[in-house]
Amino acid sequence: MSDTHVLIRGQILHYLNDPGPADDPSAWEFFDDGALWITNGHIRAAGPWAAIRANMPPAIRDAATFHDHRGKLVLPGLVDTHIHYPQAGVIGSYGRQLLDWLNDYTFPAEARFADYAVAEKTATFVVDRLLAHGTTTASVFATVHAHSVDAFFRAAEAKKLRMLCGKVLMDRHCPDTLSDTAESGRADSQALIERWHGKGRLGYTLTPRFAPTSTREQLQATGELFASRPDLHLQTHLAENRAEIDWVRQLFPERSSYLDVYAHYGLLAPRTIYGHCIHLSDAERHEMTASGAAAAFCPTSNFFLGSGAFDYAASTAAGLRVGLATDVGGGTGFSLIRTLGQAYEASQIHGTPLSAMRGWYLATLGGARALYLDDHIGNFQPGHEADFTVLDWTATPELAWRMDNTHSLAERLFALMILGDERCVVATHVMGERASPG
Ligand code: GUN
Ligand code: ZN
């Protein structure tokens, strides 16, 4: 079969590294008149338009599908490191704080996924919306129902997306209709791993909801399953809310901390990602770093549920891997651009304002690294999968007005992260091909 080639022209920005708090310019590459040459869905080369074009044999250049995005920003696909797809229908539910919100809105919504048709319809909707918002990879919570994972992976597979998803493990402190058992949770997870893990671009992530909704037996079984294969992922929640933390202390008096519960059961390791991580000590951040675990920074959710403000500067200073996340439906929408704006606001609360150059790293390569997927996605290095999104700097009159007053790339990127949203997303490509608008 002959190779297929795609050629993109636009303003290309991608990261090779975390720019850090001092905005190290060697961490990114920006090609104002840039190009991506994509072969069979993978990056062949990224660089200045003139150089890439000159290097392409004329026959390939003529055969390539060309997308002209001149004047638009071409970024690696955004990475949402923590999202609950079944909660799409409860975004924006007036819910006081976390534990009430879970009981009043979230559990009833998830219970409706006992019906496969609900899961299928929601999965299709969410995958479509993710693409429309420029997100090409996510770490996704399904519900306790195994078929909710089937529905999500089918929808992701149809769009050729790189996605992680897992069945929620939850065997106590939840409605009976949403409860599994240590044994059924293990068996269902095992069957889903066999069915989906490593199928195309899909990966399985073990998903104990959070310590309060799993018995010791379930956490033990999950740790054993996680240890049984080196290539699985794992996701859960940690230190989001004060009442939640007090509850964990009561439920696990034998453990020294919330984090220690997870560590004890073998759940703190590389390829694990913890949602929220707000109320942690510096020693705990260092413990997470040493273990290889990552944190998902969910500012829209944290402000919406009144949980607090994640300390990005302290977390990264401790060496922690951090990804950005919407945490829909605690979060207020699918836009990682809006989420980035709120990440800035959270960072201001700690007196350590997040720069634009670091912010866009967080939304792309930072997320890929947090999920241990940076061998495949996150930047435009040769061989990487060509997922990217194309943003219009001037999508709204306000942005256009503001951009007239910017004088540097950093200023433009900062205005985009504060004023931008899904209206800026002109196109999203998956493995080189345009996937949205479809
Ligand atoms: N903690 C346990 N479950 C959830 C959830 O669904 N959303 C959020 N934000 N926190 C949780
Ligand atoms: Zn969550």
Is the domain of 71 the same as that of 89?
Answer: no
Q: Given a cut of 90, is residue 438 above it in pLDDT?
A: no
> Which atom of ligand 1 is found nearest the CA of 106?
6
What the block records as the tokens of 320 is: 């922690």
Q: How confident is the model at residue 1 (pLDDT cuts 50, 70, 90)?
A: low
In total, the chain counts a number of residues equal to: 438
Strand, helix or coil for residue 353:
coil
**Ligand that comes closest to the CA of residue 81:** 2
Residues 241 and 117 in one domain: yes
Question: Does 303 fall in a domain?
Answer: yes
**Which are the contacts of 289, defined by CB distance < 8 A and separation ≥ 6?**
318, 319, 320, 321
Ion ligand 2: residues, CB < 5 A? 275, 327
Q: What is the pLDDT of residue 211?
A: 98
Is the pLDDT score of 419 beyond 90?
yes
> Does 109 share its domain with 189?
yes
In tens, the pLDDT along 328-346 reads 999 999 999 999 999 999 9
Sheet with 28-39, edge to edge strand ranges: 42-48, 28-39, 5-15, 65-76, 388-391, 425-430, 433-436
73 and 86 fall within a common domain: no
Same domain? For 109 and 26 the reply is no
Please indicate whether residue 5, judged by its CB atom, sits closer than 6 Å to ligand 1. Answer: no
Chain centroid to CA 180: how far?
26
Give the domain range for residue 430.
5-77+386-436
Amino acid letter, 45? A
Distance of CA 42 to the CA centre of its chain: 21
Q: Is the CB of 327 under 6 A from ligand 1?
A: yes
Q: Is residue 378 one of the residues assigned to a domain?
A: no
Which ligand gives the minimal distance to the CA of 244?
1
Expressed in angstroms and rounded, the spacing between residue 149 Cα and the centre of ligand 1 is 18
Mean pLDDT (the chain) is: 98
The domain that holds 161 is classified in CATH as 3.20.20.140
Q: pLDDT band at 199, cuts 50/70/90? A: very high
Q: Which atom of ligand 1 is nearest to the CA of 212?
A: 2
* Ligand 1 atom, smallest distance to 244 CA: 1
Domain count, the chain: 2
Asked if residue 284 belongs to a domain, the reply is yes
Would the CB of 106 count as within 6 Å of ligand 1?
yes
**What are the pLDDT digits (tens) for 108-150?**
999 999 999 999 999 999 999 999 999 999 999 999 999 999 9
Residue 298 CA, closest ligand 1 atom number: 9
Q: What is the pLDDT of residues 21-33, one digit of tens each?
A: 999 999 999 999 9
Q: Is the CB of 240 under 6 A from ligand 1?
A: yes
Residue 202 has pLDDT above 80, yes or no: yes
Mean pLDDT of 51-73: 97
84 and 17 fall within a common domain: no
**Could you tell me the pLDDT band of residue 96, with boundaries at 50, 70 and 90?**
confident
Residue 228 lies in a domain: yes
**What digits encode the pLDDT tens for the residues 185-196?**
999 999 999 999
Is residue 60 domain-shared with residue 44, that is, in the same domain?
Answer: yes
Domain presence at residue 308: yes
* CA-proximal residue: ligand 1, atom 11 (nearest): 237
Range with the poorest average pLDDT among 18-22, 96-100, 144-148: 96-100
211 and 173 in a single domain? The answer is yes
Q: 280: which 2 tokens? A: 């942690």
CA 41 to chain centre: 21
Instruction: Note whether residue 185 is domain-resident.
Output: yes
* Closest CA to ligand 1's atom 9: 330
Q: Within a domain: residue 377?
A: no
CA angle 184, 185, 189 (to 5 degrees): 115
Tell me: do 11 and 89 sit in the same domain: no
Q: How confident is the model at residue 388 (pLDDT cuts 50, 70, 90)?
A: very high
> What pLDDT shows up at residue 232?
98
What is the percentage of the chain residues whose pLDDT exceeds 90? 99
- Summarised one tens digit per residue, pLDDT across range 267-299 is 999 999 999 999 999 999 999 999 999 999 999
Residues 73 and 126 in one domain: no
CATH number at residue 408: 2.30.40.10
**Is 381 domain-assigned?**
no
Whether 425 has a pLDDT exceeding 80, the answer reads: yes
